[in-house]
Amino acid sequence: MMNKKKGILHLFVIFAIIALCAYTTLVGFTKAHRGSARNIKLGLDLAGGVSITYDVVGDKPTSEELADTVTMMQKRAEVHSTDSSVVTDEKGRIEIDIPGVSDAEEVLADLGKEGSLDFVAQDDLTYDDDGKPVYSKVILTGKDIKDAEAGQTQDENTKNKEYVVSLKLKSKGTKKFAKATADAAPSKKAIHIIYDGKVISSPRVQSEITNGEAQISGGFETYDEATELASYIRIGALPVELKAVQSQVVGAQLGQDAIRTSLIAGAIGFALVILFMIIFYRLPGVAASLALVFYLVVMLVALNGLDITLTLPGVAGIILNIGMAVDANVIIFTRIKEELATGKSVKQSIKLGFDKALSAIVDGNVTTLIAAAVLYAKGSGTVKGFATTLAIGIILSMFTALFITKVILNAMYVLGVDDVKYFGVERKRKQIPFVQNRVKFFVISGVLMIACVATLLVNKTTRLQGNILNYGLDFLGGTTYDVTFDQDVKIDMDMKKDIEKMFGGVSGSNDVVISEVAGEHALTIKTVELSEEQRNELNKQLADKYGVEEKNIENNNISASVSDEMKSDAIVAVVIAAICMLLYIWFRFKDIVFAGSAVLALLHDVVVVLLVYALTKISVGNTFIACMLTIVGYSINATIVIFDRIRENLGNKKSAESIANVVNDSVTQTLTRSINTSITTAIMVIMLAILGVESVRDFAIPLLAGIVCGAYSSICITGTLWYSIKRIGMKKAAK
């Protein structure tokens, strides 16, 4: 009786947590906190807006100069959106994201202009009808300022502490300031400090200042206020020139369409995965489905609570994680069915199933976390968003599988659902001779790898730019336009020729490539790097000739220097991930052969996915890194499950024949898990490929190929490759 009460309590707690998280996600508790789903910060690709990256021209600025520049840009960005973000990357560049703005080109122009700092006499300043300062005479400009610092002094009369800003002027500024203060001091008139057309301070002159050092006091309630004014004054004098090296404009409507189609894909895929799990695994499938619901609602709460910006690849990462979250449950349920097949009780089988699956689940997920960490370190923008959601999803999926699913299963058992028929028994499978067929598998893989090399060579000789892959803007540099037209605008060859002339005329280059966006009434236009003025002119011409609204125009501008870095980052990321995984597997399995064969199989998967990119001519851009490392993490996960079983079955077996039997048995025993996990993950990715927008499809199709190839290499290559290397070592040892 006590156990039943405990089981009911456990189920009640699980359902209560799910309900609470669901309520938080959908409704929220206060007007300020409308609910997690609504409060999740959306990236530019979902909310629309402007992203721009600046690099410093000339000598590297000091940390103070860089901090001042970031402050300046943050203030400018916040004029357009309070949700703006201004940060510096590891290379010292300034990255600015302004979501939700409508007049994107005006924002870009405002961000790029030089800051102005003027000191104006009280008598020379008036205001227009809009309240903006108007003046013709200037006492000092930012170029006359040597330094400005916030500090603290003590009033001689009251002995109270007060915050001040101390100014130091250059020699020319000292003379001009001396004359202005001499004129203002008798009447204690103000000298207005104007930054970017806004009066930020109006201190009154107490006496003539001739030594080039002044102090502003009396108007600061906090030290931060004094620091802010000092920062503005320094910014006006800042000798830092910025150059835009990357910019992106995303229409809000296009972002909304992207998230809508992705969520539909996720909902359908989620329903199909749950149906598959219940049909195949019966009662454990029900438990896993409840755990998946728990995972999903907690994931949304986590995104809101951790203040993570959700990007379109991030949405894809969550959807992909739903498929991958099933993996741990599949491993556990397969183990439970195997234990039941040996005649153990349901209670014993549940316990042993979780115990024996633990090492494979932990090792598999750690290696995928390695891929996510490398993605976050080497990626940028949307790729970081994908890496973040992938990492959070992996951690949550481990928790839900190892704890939530276990609690639900045990609760159901003590409530009387304890018959073997509710769990199913693993049928004894006839051993499949994988080792004996290894030469066939190696030949198939060899043919695929040769086909990849041949296709890349063909691409290089037939493509106009001589590239082996269809490099996107991220890897080539230049400007890309995505333009959505009204349905009454006919897209045909004549229209494309007119667009080509339009872009060629503005850019002065014949390097214009136009392609239709599948499933949408839109065109993608790639050309050389365009200036802000050229992009404005093209926007105007598109509006005048085809009636295209600005919200339906996306453009992305990347300099060649940044694109070269992205290409090198892609290669470095895959290499770092492979090395880290090799070291981890070597450490965990205490055998370099396990690690070596796993990494060789990974390289095999990477080459096959490259073949898919080469054949389909899918654009290779920033998400290419995310795709490759996801495949690497997914594939190694499947490989570790097989290696874990080989390690378990190996014991003290030494002969080549006995080791071959171990490999055949291990791969056969884990075959159901390998296939089922691939199916559940593929379901989610297929939904993304069918229903997602073009950028998501371009991510999903190679990923789907990687899932299929990863399943093949894990089942047919890794175990047999490990055996082949072991056999060579045994022969050498025998000699």
So what CATH class is 117-243?
Answer: alpha beta
Host H or E run for residue 327: helix 312-341
The matching CATH number, chosen from 3.30.519, 2.60.40, 3.30.70, 1.10.3470, for 478-558 is: 3.30.70
Please name every residue paired with 620 in a beta bridge, in sequence order, or none if there are none.
Answer: 471
- Dihedral (C-alpha) 82, 319, 717, 330: value to the nearest 10 degrees? 130
CA distance 702 to 685: 10
Q: How is domain 251-454+562-734 classified at the architecture level of CATH?
A: Up-down Bundle (1.20)
Please name every residue paired with 523 in a beta bridge, in sequence order, or none if there are none.
Answer: 483, 516
| pLDDT reported for residue 437 | 92
Q: Is the pTM of this model over 0.75?
A: no
The DSSP call for residue 435 is G
Within 8 A by CB and 6+ apart from 103, the residues are 550
Q: Which of 315, 399, 240, 319 is CA-nearest to residue 682?
A: 319
> 633 with 578: CB under 8 angstroms?
no
DSSP string, 126-186: EE-TTS-EE-S--SEEGGGEEEEEEEEEE-TTT--EEEEEEEEE-HHHHHHHHHHHHHHGG
Q: Which of 695, 699, 674 is CA-nearest to residue 685?
A: 699
CA distance 159 to 157: 6
CA distance 259 to 38: 13
Per-domain residue ranges of the chain: 117-243, 251-454+562-734, 478-558
Q: Which of 172, 144, 170, 142 is CA-nearest to residue 72?
A: 142
Answer yes or no: same fold for 251-454+562-734 and 478-558. Answer: no
Q: Which of 577, 705, 718, 727 is CA-nearest to residue 641?
A: 718
CA distance 258 to 263: 9
CA distance 241 to 114: 8
Please name every residue paired with 169 in a beta bridge, in sequence order, or none if there are none.
Answer: 145
Strand order in the sheet with 191-195: 140-141, 117-121, 191-195, 198-201
> 26 with 39: CB under 8 angstroms?
no
575: burial class by Cβ within 10 Å (0-12, 13-18, 19+)? exposed
| pLDDT reported for residue 88 | 75
CA distance 716 to 650: 18
Chain-centre distance for alpha carbon 14? 31
**Mean pLDDT in order along the chain per 10 residues (735 residues):** 69 77 64 56 70 75 75 71 71 74 65 72 88 88 84 76 88 90 91 85 90 86 84 66 70 64 82 86 83 82 74 70 76 84 86 85 82 75 72 84 84 80 77 91 92 87 70 71 82 83 80 72 79 80 83 71 65 78 81 84 87 84 74 78 86 81 90 84 85 78 88 90 85 70
Tokens representing 688 are: 């993304």
| pLDDT reported for residue 2 | 53
| pLDDT reported for residue 527 | 78
